[in-house]
Amino acid sequence: MARDLSVEPVLDLDEIQGNIIPGFRKDFQLFAFFSIEKADGARAFIRALGPQLDSARAVLAAHAEWKALRGALGREPGAAYGRVFLNLAITGRGLERLGRGADLAAFADDGLRFGLAARSTLIGDPADRSRSGHRSRWLFGSGEREIDLLLILASDNAARLEARFETFAEAGAAQGVALIHVDRGDVAAAPEPHDEQFGFRDGISQPALRGCRSDDPDRALEPDTWPQGEAFSAHRAAFAGPGRQLIWPGQILFGHARQRRDDPLRPDPADTPTGPAFSRNGSLLVYRRLRQRPDRFEAFLARAAAEVEAAVPGSSMNRERIGALLVGRWRSGTPVMRSPAQDIGLSGPAANHFRFATAMDVALPGDDAAPSPGDFNGEICPFAAHIRKVNPRDEPTDLGGAERTVPKLIVRRGITYRAGSSPAADQGLVFVGYQSSIEDQFEFLMRAWVKDPHRPRGGAGHDPILSLEDDGFVRLRLEGRSIDVQFRNDWVVPTGGAYLFAPSISAVRDVLGTAPSFALGYLGKVIAS
Amino acid sequence: MPPRTRPCAKTRFRFAALEAGAAGHLVPGEAGDDVRAVQALLGRAGYLGSNYVPGVMCSSTCGAVRDFQRSYRLAETGVGDEATLALMQRPRCGVPDVDRARGLALAPFSAVGCAYPNADLTYAILNATPDLDSARQREILAEAFDAWARVSALRFREVAPEQNPTFTIAWQRGDHGDGAPFDDAGSMASNTLAHAFFPPPCGGPNAGSLHFDEFELWTDESASNRIRLLNVAIHEIGHLLGLGHSDNRDAIMFAFYADDVDRLRDDDVAGVQHLYGPPARTAGDAAVTPFRFRPTADSDEFDAFPEVADAWHRLIDFFFESNIHGAPDDEAEAAVEELRRWGRGARDLRFYNPVERAVPTGSTPANVTWSALPTSFEPLFHGNEEGMFAFLDEPQFDSRIGRRTRVQDEYAEWTAMRDNEGRIRRIVFTSEPPEFYRFLFEDRLGVGTDKTHPLLLSLYRERCDGADVRIDELADPLRPDRYDPYNDWNNRFCVHMQQSNNTLGAQINIAARSAILREDTATGAPITSAQALIACARYGAAERQSDPTIGAVVNAQARENRFLTLENPVGLYMTGIDLAGFATPDGSDVGRLWSVKKGRVVPNRPDRTMIVRAEFAAPEGVGFGVSDVTIGGAPIRFGAEVARHVGIRLGVLLGPVSDVPPPRPIGCVGQAPRAPGPLALLARRGG
């Protein structure tokens, strides 16, 4: 079945901030968190930022420019491409401080209304103050260090990125917008570029947003990247390419329709995210600063491998294999579903061409590895494996059919960081995810699946990367036996974060950058138009 | 006798006395063909010796009629009355009911006193009937042997005729050399369908032979003037094993054929187990105690009432039976009934009743899990969560039943009890099915309401804050002998589940019917995804979280050829509450607010916990109420907000991958070659 672009909306690419779609995808990203001390000054600060924000269209154009330059140079341009992107987001408290309390109340999302710190134990962060990861120990985003505004800057040229940031920091200081915290992301912060800190290739699987760049029906934002041929026709309607589930814009953006219930191919025009009028084309942003401890993770893998080997002699368990079972991928990114016994170094679309519950029915050209078999009972890839927990793909869940997993997907724009060069340096990942409901998407995934050992499948165990439960376990199925690997995660520690709203570019200019009385004028304009 | 051209229905013997306008009976002194036929039947069945006057009632013939009537629990008139003649002319097995030499007589079950000494037996099929596809005949015979193997220590294997099989099976016509000729027209022998010979030495030189009458028209479906091979095959195999005829009309070993008797009943099972023992038990289960369904959540409520405990076991057994095989007066669509409409049978079902079939060695428990907060109504509210929670919290008018009922449809229900200012005092959760309460009220199994009603009232009073609940307040206002699940006490105090699909029967029906493999009949492609399966098989409600999930998990096991059943004690269990993110205004432990009122909690093992009643309420004197508790910073406004964090599970027992031939898929409901019965249609519309 073909994808019907005529029913997908034309996206207002001049309005949507560019890190939502298509994503900045730069080597360096800087996340600057501010607190609003003076509302008027903050409005002026924001007003001045408005025209500088990079829209989706601008970022798409820049990516094309970068590609052309790479073609001309015959190599990646690196710092030679010096463009710096800018985006902005605001927390619920930030909206209140700008006098937008009524607008905040118009958002249905409790996540935005109450903020990450108030929600942290709900999603599984420690409730015990003495435990690392508790919100009282965060670097920012809690208590005295609550934040209101986030600026995201991104570039391949670190020097220009820093220079630009300096101007914003100075302007903020002059206008009652105090800098609270800065995170500096670097795709090369891990030992291998594009790996995360534990040495696993990251960012392989992303949903693909439906919608068009213009009303020319051939201009899909995310065009079909499947190989040609009938063999793939059954996949084209729901996937832009291998593992790239198509999602309706309302799942990420306000003012757009979400998926019709149980039918990923059709939108439900009556189901749009609930927010104030100016929320259209905006998105909710979850920011989590996750410190990673590779030494502790490796020690855990060694212990777990030894325990499993002792329990099932001859299972030839080792750190690499147990790591793959816990993540769901080998370090190269090869899915365990494609190669249960060893890392065969799959990359590109082949590394994302798999399912869990039912066998993959078609092979990609040149992809000679065995297609993923059906693994309904989690005997190949454990139910609790990180990538299976947060995206069970085709398998039924506690919600019902796999059609109900699609609306849970979020777009991820995270990047690794490393503060300092010593082995003990603070390093990790800043998780950046966009969605239209924090409650139903990010929080659901964390609350209902990551931290619940019996969901989405009974007897799964906990996500060994993200769950911070005291009595964590992962259930492995080996040679017909069940083995529970116990753990208490001290290798991924939340050290800060926020729930924010990333408004449309016009909303920054016309609403956040103006006093509320002006906003009424804006509302009038919207209603009149 | 020359073979007839096929197909051609047999001309069965009919008593002239039963024809329209005839006397309807044979009295002493009467003579003629009818009398000759009575004597022929009584002779073949073993009631009449050689000392009688042929063609004349009565002398010794009347004594034999009386013996026949006694055997079949008819009025012992000693004459050929209408009921007697009507039974006599039905098609039947050619094996005698009575064999004085061997002491054989009709009884609940009877054995000839001969049995095979070993449990591993073989059979060979010597020829085939043209009436049925030969592969299909082979399958039906395998299914018939399997029916006996499932309930006994016996194992059967088909072998080639030259491999010295224990049993040989053949279609024969006319006189086929064993001294018991078949006949195709007119004589009493024309009512004989088949016969089989007992184990040696009882069976004589033909021991181990089973003969079907080729004059019959054999079929694998229900059709008038055709005979279902499965029914007759199971029956005749019973003779091969050493069983005589039963006097129980529902038993497979009843001598006369019935279209709808196609499986073993208790006395058949007792008979074969008497001869060969019960199925091998799993290791560690050495005590050969019969399987018993335990009370929900292993409750001790029945401890003082052993008869009630026994009746409960029978009730759950009935739920399995009626949803697997179908029961005459049940309303549910049964799995095997549906399979039969596709020319399939019980051997294509991987869900079983543990009473009927031993739990396979190596079976492991597994859970299907979901949240108590329904998602069915989300499309009605389009993200208006507050509106949806307010709707879910209150009973709503249901036009199908004409009453107000809770609409919470995930096998758990709650009531948020509020004070005069609308603040929540406590939230009561129940996952107890209505069947338990209906069972106590209606006492259909005859335990005696002197026992069940006091128990029912004590449960109600305990759940209704000690109120003086009277039995008449629980009765259906229109039919006082029926229980009313929408009674005022239940509505107010959430005594047990009442949403129309939140029943044990529904749960068992979903598990049974989702164990049927489905395919797209146009393409032959298997149907495997949760929503596609429930749309195809129409078990449960597709919009729920639970039903499609249960169906998908069960179906996947059946596709892997695993036998499965439900955990004992069967129930719908809350696993507990996840209080992460909950906070009290004074910072005290929020865990104090959750209390389990009925059920069993296994610490840190939600997968084994069996909670059926619980409350979320602030303890006395703490100075705050439920409405002051926050979840993720947001104060609790609705019971639904707490229900979201309550887990539900359905426990199943998954067998290992079996080595029996895999089950065969069928198409979707509504596409069957044969129409379902009216009751099944009714049930589907209603549920």
pLDDT digits (tens, 9 = 90+) for B599-648: 999 988 899 999 999 999 999 999 999 999 999 999 999 999 999 999 99
- pLDDT for position B685: 34
Indicate the SS3 state at residue B564: strand
* Count of all residues that appear for chain A in the document: 529
pLDDT range class, residue B107, cuts 50, 70, 90: low
For A440, nearest residue in chain B (alpha carbons): B383
Q: Which of B523, B573, B575, B578 to mutate to test the interface with A (most CBs of A within 10 A)?
A: B578
Indicate the SS3 state at residue A51: helix
Angle at A176 between CA A174 and CA A181, to 5 degrees: 95
Q: Which among A110, A271, A403 is the nearest to B531, CB-wise?
A: A403
CB within 8 A of B426, min separation 6: which ones? B416, B417, B615, B616, B617, B618, B626
Q: Which among B548, B632, B649 is the nearest to A114, CB-wise?
A: B632
Q: Which among A118, A268, A394 is the nearest to B632, CB-wise?
A: A118
The alpha-carbon gap from B595 to the nearest alpha carbon of chain A, in Å, equals 21
Task: Tell me how far the alpha carbon of residue B28 is from its chain's centroid.
Answer: 46
Q: Are A226 and A220 in contact (CB under 8 A)?
A: no
Question: CA separation (Å) from A211 to A259, A260, B578?
Answer: 13, 15, 38
For A263, nearest residue in chain B (alpha carbons): B531
Enumerate the active-site residues of B. 236
- pLDDT for position B442: 94
The alpha-carbon gap from B382 to the nearest alpha carbon of chain A, in Å, equals 5
Q: Are A467 and A455 in contact (CB under 8 A)?
A: no
DSSP letter string over A215-253? SSTT-BSS---SPSSGGGHHHHTTEEETTEEEE-GGGTS
DSSP letter string over B623-654? S--GGG-EETTEEP--HHHHHTTEEEEEEEEE
Alpha helices in A242-344 (DSSP H): 294-311, 319-327
Whether B543 and A261 lie within 8 Å, measured CB to CB: yes
A522/B203: higher pLDDT = B203
Hey, what amino acid is at B67? D
Q: Which residues of A touch B580 (CB under 8 A)?
A: 121-124, 127, 447, 451
Hey, what are B550's tokens?
């249960």
Whether B549 and A458 lie within 8 Å, measured CB to CB: no
Whether residue B419 lies within 8 A of chain A, CB to CB, comes out as: no
Whether B383 and A454 lie within 8 Å, measured CB to CB: no
- Digitized pLDDT (tens) for each residue of chain A, 529 residues in all: 688 888 999 999 999 999 999 999 999 999 999 999 999 999 999 999 999 999 999 999 999 999 999 999 999 999 999 999 999 999 999 999 999 999 999 999 999 999 999 999 999 999 999 999 999 999 999 999 999 999 999 999 999 999 999 999 999 999 999 999 999 999 999 888 889 999 999 989 999 999 999 877 678 999 999 999 999 999 999 999 999 999 999 999 999 999 999 999 999 999 999 999 999 999 999 999 999 999 999 999 999 999 999 998 888 899 999 999 999 999 999 999 999 999 999 999 999 999 999 999 999 999 999 999 999 999 999 999 999 999 999 999 999 999 999 999 999 999 999 998 887 899 999 999 999 999 999 999 999 999 999 999 999 999 999 999 999 999 999 988 899 999 999 999 999 999 999 999 999 999 999 988 754 545 544 544 4
For A275, nearest residue in chain B (alpha carbons): B383
Whether A401 and B632 lie within 8 Å, measured CB to CB: no
- pLDDT for position B686: 33
Q: What is the pLDDT of residues B649-661, one digit of tens each?
A: 999 999 999 988 8
What single DSSP character describes residue A52?
G
The alpha-carbon gap from B363 to the nearest alpha carbon of chain A, in Å, equals 11
Whether B607 and A397 lie within 8 Å, measured CB to CB: no
Tell me how far apart the alpha carbons of residues B290 and B31 are, in angstroms, rounded to a whole number.
Answer: 53
Q: What is the pLDDT of residues B407-441, one digit of tens each?
A: 999 999 999 999 999 999 999 999 999 999 999 99
Whether A121 and B580 lie within 8 Å, measured CB to CB: yes
The size of the A-B interface in CB pairs under 8 A is 125
Q: What is the pLDDT of residues B510-522, one digit of tens each?
A: 999 999 999 999 9
- Whether the per-residue pLDDT at B240 is higher than 70: the answer is yes
Q: Which among A122, A451, A454 is the nearest to B631, CB-wise?
A: A122
The alpha-carbon gap from A395 to the nearest alpha carbon of chain B, in Å, equals 8
- pLDDT for position B100: 66
Beta strands B218-219 and B227-228 are parallel
Predicted TM-score (pTM) of this structure: 0.81
Hey, what amino acid is at B423? R
For A439, nearest residue in chain B (alpha carbons): B632
- pLDDT for position A308: 95
Hey, what amino acid is at B681? L
ipTM above 0.85? Answer: yes
